[in-house]
Amino acid sequence: MPDIFIAEPKEKNTAVPEKPYVLEKQERSDGPIPIIQSPMDSNNPVHLFSAFRKNPDGITFRDQEGEETILLFIRHSFITNVRWILAGIFLLILPILISLSLGFFQNPLPSLSNKYYLMIGFFYYLFVATYFYINFITWHFNIALVTDKRIIDINFSNLVYKDIAATKLNLVQDVSFAQIGAIRTFFDYGDVLVQTAGTLDNFTFESAPQPENIVHIIEDLIGKRNEHFV
Amino acid sequence: MNTLYKLFPFIQFNLFIKIGFLALDLFFILFLIIAVRQVFTMTTIVNDASNAVIIKGSVILLLLLSISLFLTALVIL
């Protein structure tokens, strides 16, 4: 008598522990294609002036979960720093311009000895160095992170204001970007808007480099997440 | 200024400038202490292993320079 049903022998449990989701560095012409890849293969350090990194190495953040992997590291485009860099350069050469112009006029403070001018000069250049530094760290600490579990937006400005917001990827409903103006188009940066569900705050990554790329990556992550709920 | 000195010879203008400079430098040091505190906090929130030393070192260097400027002004002015 033929057997109607024969149970197949049980295979050994060969389940491999789930690796974190990591973006592949290669991109196709129509956009980035995230592919599961071993995180150990990536070697992508974030430099001091980096504004955009996929799978960054050496970056950790507070409250990071054990298996949480950072997929995208975003700062404002470096071109946004040009204004304060030019202002700083002007401040650097301003004393030279003043001293040159004073050569044509009488010294307004003849009773002051040279040591006063020396100390004021040192103080001035220390002030200019601090101006450079404060503007730099304002740019440096304005970070957006996209991990395989959530999106984190860190705003830091005026040295005393910091705002940290995070949302889970499954709460993200839509991602879009705006790239308005010739300069933004030429240097390829724009604002990325991440819309979240319900009454939760939306996220805006201002002046983010490669905004289209970012939107594609987050859209893909959302799609990947949504597959679990179908 | 020389005219003012002739009118009020008992006022030492250089001393005023010294005190003003020291006060300004002191406020600057306080500002940099806040900057140090904020930078250390931010590097705790997002730790960039390769660049944290440069960022922290720079602000500490600025603070040390401003303190040394304050002490120098206290002595030589």
Number of domains in chain B: 1
Q: Is the domain of A87 the same as that of A182?
A: no
Inter-chain touch A141–B25, beta carbons under 8 Å: no
- What SS3 class is residue A112? coil
Inside any domain, residue B70: yes
Arithmetic mean of pLDDT, A9-20: 49
Inside any domain, residue A19: no
Interface test with A, best of B6, B40, B51 (most A CBs within 10 A): B51
Inside any domain, residue A6: no
Inter-chain touch A59–B69, beta carbons under 8 Å: no
Judge contact between A58 and B50, C-beta under 8 A.
Answer: yes
Q: List, as ranges, residues 9-38 from B with C-beta within 8 Å of A.
A: 13-14, 17, 21, 24-25, 28, 31-32, 34-35, 38
ipTM, two decimals: 0.85
Domain harbouring A153, CATH code: 2.30.29.30
Rounded Cα distance between A118 and A133, Å, is 23
Q: Could you tell me the CA-to-CA distances from A126 to A67, A132, A181, B32, B66 in Å, in that order?
A: 44, 10, 36, 11, 7
Inside any domain, residue B28: no
Q: Is the domain of A53 the same as that of A153?
A: yes
Model pTM?
0.79
Q: pLDDT for A185-199, tens place per residue?
A: 999 999 999 998 877
Smallest CA–CA distance, residue B75 to chain A, in Å, is 11
Q: Is the domain of A146 the same as that of A210?
A: yes
* Domain with B77 in it: 49-77
Q: Which of B25, B17, B16 is nearest to B70 (CA)?
A: B25
Number of domains in chain A: 2
A114, A137, A160: which is the final residue of a domain? Answer: A137
* Domain with A107 in it: 82-137
Q: pLDDT for B37-62, tens place per residue?
A: 999 999 999 888 888 999 999 999 99
Arithmetic mean of pLDDT, A26-53: 61
Q: Is the domain of A156 the same as that of A207?
A: yes
- What SS3 class is residue B1? coil
pLDDT at B6: 61
Inter-chain touch B50–A46, beta carbons under 8 Å: yes
Arithmetic mean of pLDDT, A175-179: 92
pLDDT value at A230 more than 50: no
Q: Is the domain of A109 the same as that of A49?
A: no
Inside any domain, residue A167: yes
Inside any domain, residue B9: no
Inter-chain touch A111–B13, beta carbons under 8 Å: yes
Inter-chain touch B50–A159, beta carbons under 8 Å: no
Q: pLDDT for B21-38, tens place per residue?
A: 999 999 999 999 999 999
Judge contact between A166 and A147, C-beta under 8 A.
Answer: no
